[in-house]
């Protein structure tokens, strides 16, 4: 027999398994700072930077950690977290706060659903309201609507998995079904191959054909896999004929699928196909607000707006940026403000920022208030003019990477205290005047449009 691997090597194995299961960015944020302290009596003690860290890891990664521990160390092992208290000059204490056993999985049982994905925390916007309504209808009466199968398609990170799982979670919670099975098309494929290899096709059929709702995520990965497609086709027919609900997600419309059997595609068209589009500014802002509320984290509104305005491609990226900020705040104990946020997200947001110039801001603000932009740059103290100037300065500070000093120089070289004063005035007004805040948000949007 080979001698067992030393504990450090097992820890490395654990990390590799985790690394392969989650996005790169999340791994760097949450797992790199983790330190393995000791392994005593099947208990692995690790140190994490703060309570927030621990809460976050437990909330989001406990089932991945549990499987990775089981796979690397063995199922009898458990993980104990400790938080570093005090700075390096003091004696370091490791405070065990809670242990997580290898078999403590967070996902619910055989359904493979993640409880985090619900309708309650799915923010509705123009981009997804039809998809959401269809999903809700299906989860209230699985198999009984005309929406069978329900096919949800859209680009990456737009909420397909969230919505698909919300259907299963809702239907189970409200006792609409007894068995809901959620699976990625890759897992379905692996299960099928294993069942053929191990001669256990009855088990496989039982697992999938006895579902009241079968949710297949990312079904585009069936492309090119003929035997799996055939198996899925039969599973589909069996379920459909007995009035069971089928929900599929795809990264493109069914008609754009290559290497997929025509008879399978035609099945997809029997029910309802809906799409999810990229979220608009308001939806992005609402998603972020909901997220910080849920996680009880304080991030100032102007920082959230900055994220919502600048990260428009998909929700996952939006959340990734928020996580980066929260992780930083949690490790360093520093409050997040706009300059810090800009610095921390430089690599993600820089490209876009470059294209927004002070001049565009001055012109757009000027046009908005009907004031020529040279007056905005000028010295007039007339109320309307100075208001638009203050707003323009405020926005420059927010939307560009210019320092206060360089903003001053682009506004006719006045005293740099003027910019600070303008920012204060607008901020103060915001707390009193909701309309002004809306005006400002529309203005920012307009500037964004003018800049691209």
Asked if 315 interacts with ligand ADP (CB under 6 A), we say yes
**Residues 178-207 within binding reach of ligand ADP (CB under 6 A):** none
Check binding of 277 to ligand ADP (CB under 6 A).
no
Shortest CA distance to 210 belongs to which of 105, 134, 115, 111?
111
Q: Is residue 159 a contact residue for ligand ADP (CB under 6 A)?
A: yes
C-alpha closest to that of 341 among 312, 304, 314: 304
Q: Nearer to ligand ADP by C-beta: 127 or 395?
A: 127
Q: Which contacts qualify for 292-295: CB closer than 8 Å, 24 or more apart?
A: 292/322, 294/121, 295/56, 295/326
Choice from 48, 80, 123, 150 touching ligand ADP (CB under 6 A): 123
| Candidates 126-134, 152-160, 329-337, 441-449; binding stretch for Mg ion (CB under 5 A) | 152-160
Answer for the pair 298, 341: CB distance below 8 angstroms, yes or no. no
- By CB under 5 A, tell whether 185 contacts Mg ion: no
Residue 47 is inside which H or E element, if any? strand 43-48
How many Å apart are CA 369 and CA 366, to the nearest integer?
Answer: 5
CA atoms lying within 13 Å on the CB side of residue 225? 17
Joined together, the tokens standing for residue 316 give 């996952």
DSSP label at residue 452: -
- Per CB under 5 A, which region of 31-39, 59-67, 157-165, 365-373 contacts Mg ion? 157-165
The yes or no reply on residue 284 touching ligand ADP (CB under 6 A) is: no
161 near ligand ADP (CB under 6 A): yes
Window of 97-105, 154-162, 251-259, 372-380 that interacts with Mg ion by CB under 5 A: 154-162
Task: Please report which helix (H) or strand (E) contains residue 54, including its range.
Answer: helix 51-72
Give the angle 101-102-104 at the CA atoms, nearest 5°: 65
The single residue among 14, 53, 122, 369 that binds ligand ADP, judged by CB under 6 A, is: 122
Strand order in the sheet with 93-101: 35-40, 43-48, 78-85, 93-101
Binding range to ligand ADP, per CB under 6 A, among 67-75, 155-163, 379-387, 388-396:
155-163
Choice from 33, 49, 157, 278 touching ligand ADP (CB under 6 A): 157
Judged by CB under 5 A, which stretch of 45-53, 82-90, 153-161, 443-451 contacts Mg ion?
153-161
Question: Is there binding between residue 158 and ligand ADP (CB under 6 A)?
Answer: yes
User: Could you give the CA distance from residue 230 to residue 260 in angstroms, rounded to a whole number?
Assistant: 10
Q: Per CB under 6 A, does 285 bind ligand ADP?
A: no
CB of 235 to ligand ADP, least distance (A): 22
| Closer of 81 and 153 to ligand ADP (Cβ) | 153
Binding of ligand ADP at residue 151 (CB under 6 A)? no
- At closest approach, how far in Å is the CB of 154 from Mg ion? 10
Q: Are 146 and 196 in contact (CB under 8 A)?
A: no
Of 160 and 176, CB closest to Mg ion = 160
Give one DSSP letter per residue of 106-127, joined into a string.
Answer: -SBGGGTB-TT--STT----TT
Q: Which of 26, 67, 161, 273 binds Mg ion (CB under 5 A)?
A: 161
Helices (H) and strands (E) in the chain, counts: 20, 9
Binder of residue 287, out of Mg ion, ligand ADP, none (CB less than 5 to 8 A by kind): ligand ADP
Per-residue buried b or exposed e for 220-252, using 16+ beta carbons within 10 Å of the residue's own CB? bbbeebeebbebbeebbeebbeeebbbbbbbbe
CB-nearer residue toward ligand ADP: 280 or 441:
280
Where along the sequence are the contacts to Mg ion (CB under 5 A)? Answer: 160-161
Residues at the interface with ligand ADP (CB under 6 A): 121-123, 128, 154, 156-162, 287, 315-316, 319
């Amino acid at each position: 027999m080979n001698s067992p691997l030393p504990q450090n090597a097992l820890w490395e194995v654990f990390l590799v398994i985790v690394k392969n299961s989650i996005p790169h960015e999340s791994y760097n944020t949450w797992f790199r700072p983790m330190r393995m302290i000791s392994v005593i009596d099947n208990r692995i003690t690790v140190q994490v930077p703060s309570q927030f860290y621990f809460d976050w890891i437990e909330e989001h990664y406990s089932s991945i950690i549990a499987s990775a521990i089981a796979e690397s160390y063995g199922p009898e092992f458990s993980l104990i977290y400790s938080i570093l208290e005090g700075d390096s000059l003091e004696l370091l204490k490791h405070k065990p706060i809670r242990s997580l056993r290898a078999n403590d999985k967070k996902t619910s049982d055989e359904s493979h659903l993640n409880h985090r994905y619900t309708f309650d925390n799915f923010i509705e916007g123009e981009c997804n309201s039809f998809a959401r309504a269809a999903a809700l209808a299906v989860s209230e009466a699985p198999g009984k609507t005309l929406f069978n199968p329900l096919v949800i398609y859209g680009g990456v990170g737009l909420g397909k998995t969230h919505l698909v799982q919300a259907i299963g979670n809702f239907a189970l919670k409200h006792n609409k079904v007894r068995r809901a099975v959620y699976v990625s098309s890759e897992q379905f494929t692996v299960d099928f191959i294993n069942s053929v290899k191990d001669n256990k096709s009855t088990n496989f059929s039982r697992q999938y054909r006895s579902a009241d709702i079968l949710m297949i995520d990312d079904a585009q990965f069936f492309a090119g896999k003929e035997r799996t497609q055939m198996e899925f086709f039969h599973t589909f027919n069996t379920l459909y004929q007995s009035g069971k609900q089928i929900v599929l997600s795809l990264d493109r419309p069914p008609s754009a699928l290559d290497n997929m059997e025509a008879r399978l595609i035609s099945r997809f068209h029997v029910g309802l196909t809906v799409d999810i589009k990229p979220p608009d500014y308001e939806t992005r802002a609402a998603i972020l607000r909901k997220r910080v509320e849920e996680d009880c984290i304080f991030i100032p509104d102007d920082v959230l707006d900055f994220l919502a305005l600048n990260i428009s491609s998909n929700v996952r990226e939006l959340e990734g940026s928020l996580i980066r900020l929260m992780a930083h705040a949690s490790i360093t104990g520093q409050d997040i403000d706009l300059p810090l946020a800009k610095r921390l997200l430089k690599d993600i947001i820089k490209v876009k920022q470059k294209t927004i110039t002070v001049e565009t801001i001055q012109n757009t603000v000027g046009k908005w208030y009907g004031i020529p932009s040279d007056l905005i740059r000028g010295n007039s103290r007339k109320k309307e003019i100075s208001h638009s100037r203050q707003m323009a300065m405020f926005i420059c500070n927010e939307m560009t990477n210019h320092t206060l000093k360089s903003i001053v120089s682009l506004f006719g070289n006045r005293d740099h205290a003027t910019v600070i004063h303008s920012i204060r005035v607008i901020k103060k007004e915001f707390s009193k005047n909701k309309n002004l805040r809306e005006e400002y948000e529309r203005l920012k949007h307009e500037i964004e449009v003018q800049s691209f």
